[in-house]
Structure 1
Amino acid sequence: MLWHAIAPSRRYTKASHDVVRHPRLSSDAKILLLYVQGLPAERRAVALSEHARTLGITGRAYQKAKKLLVVNGFLHEWRQQGGRGFWTTEQLLANVVLSPVEAVRSREAGAGEAAVVPGARKPTVGQPEGPAVGDYRPEEEEREKNSSHPPSEEPPEDGWGPEEVEAERALLSLRRCHRSLHLGVVEARKLVRLAVEWLRRGVTAEEMRRVLTSDLPPDGVRSAVGFLRYRLVRKLPEPPGERTARTAGPEPDRAEGPDPAPLPPGWVTCQGPGDEHVFRPVEGAEGETHCGPCRRRTAWDLWSERRAAQLAAEQAAEDDYRHTPWRERVAALEAERT
């Protein structure tokens, strides 16, 4: 006799229609998301790449699936350095779309879970030795696994001093505070001159990093280079000499605010709506007063007005037009002949 047995409910995973029918997620991304959703709580500390390797999703296929999950708001990552110098990547994978602010709130809500603390180690047998001399530079870095070294950096340019090197390191380290502030080496070196001015005015690299990463926009940063350049210019502290003179002199008039910092050569303040921001005009268009996004917004508003007027005119013409049946037209022609 054959018996038909149904597996218990714990052997199934409930799949949301928002995930299964998502038009921009690939099949690998959907399978990986549903696989992690059905895992027990004790396997929560395993990296996402390990789960993908279990499913046979490796290499370029895993990178594409992970990118789709990040872009569409299902996967969020935070990279931070612990007290012992080890870098840790914390991942949050959800079966619903989360904004950066919602992801941070969900992360803070689950921050009360007990963290894994390394146990005591036995002392190594033998005499202490110095570090081995070599020219090792890691080429492939797995960002999801813990490591004791920061991301590799290019050698400094010729003619740089200690301030330029420290400024470049501070700018490249912003990626560890927030993933939207990720800068490449070429992009960071474009901002080194502005960051060096902060260091020359008595600001430490840690203070500059805290100012640049505080109060980020809730919707994220569209351009890390433009956002950091704007903050380096607008939040530039005053020189120590002026600060001392103002402290020793009479109390300034509180009705008048401090003079804004001068803009770098070639940059213009945008006259468009919204918060004050700067942009650099393209070559041959030095008279521009609006940045690219503001010009596109103005053009879109103008096109919307013209399109609304066109549709209104077409509707009015359609209302005025009345179709005449052919019998009435023939009767009218015969009436004219007679």
Structure 2
Amino acid sequence: MPPRAHARVAGDKHPNRRSGAAHRTGGLQHDNTRHTTRFTVIGNHLAQHPELSLLAIGLGTHLQSLPNGAPADIKTLAARFPEGATRIAAALRELEAHGYLRRERVRTPSGRIVTRTISCNQPAAARRPTEGASPAARAPREPRAEHTPRGSSGSRASREPRGRLLPAVPRPECHVPALFQAATDLLADLRRHDSRLLLSADDTAHLAPGVAAWLERDVTPAAVRRALTADLPPEGLRRPAALLAHRLAAQLPPPAPHRAPATAPPAPVRYPMRNCDGCDRGFRSPHPGALCRDCRTDLQEAA
């Protein structure tokens, strides 16, 4: 006689049926062990960045794991990874554009110019101003001029999202304090030319490296001022610092052409002193036995 059939186990109590989301999807599952040594904390804003490439995310993670003083130039990274110098350079530019990386050229006490690479683990966090570096400022990410349409009320501005960074600005090749001071003075003076360009201290500190990069390329302060204030929208500017940051980056002129130092004119040739064969007068001449100018004139007239 055949054995009795077992009653069917209904619902989620079936032993081969998993409960929850695990039986509905084959997505990622984690098998994690807590780190106690040799680990780096990486923010999801980098690991899941919506605009950075996978190479840039990986390179940013690698840079944040390095100790202070570790070499981070393109040559060293290209020797460490198989992607090559071109792709690594592009990834570094991505990180720099989104605030995860800053590269500054500084002069050492011995007079040598070196590149200092600074990795930022939280670009969106408020930072204190440091020498040659700008603090994070809140402003729209998109590089476009923003203005308030005529007849609109201030309630629209209050609904704008906050906490976004100003567009990145170029940086000078060398950190020269006098150049940064001139850039800061130029930005603070813009309000005298257009009252809408009244900038905060944080905005000025963010924009100053961009103006310094222009001044470093032999652009006069008057030309920089014209580039920043020309053709402004007739409506009221809602975030003037975002517009100025975009102009500083988009209209950056090329470096000034190299000019060879002016050479001194050749020294005049001084011929030796000789005595004229006609009148025994002393004069300078390259040829021995020559006549002075007066004797040559007399000889030509006699002929």
With normalisation by structure 1, the TM-score equals 0.35
**Greater per-residue helix proportion:** 1
Larger radius of gyration: 2
Larger relative contact order, structure 1 or 2 (CA cutoff 8 Å, min sep 6): 2
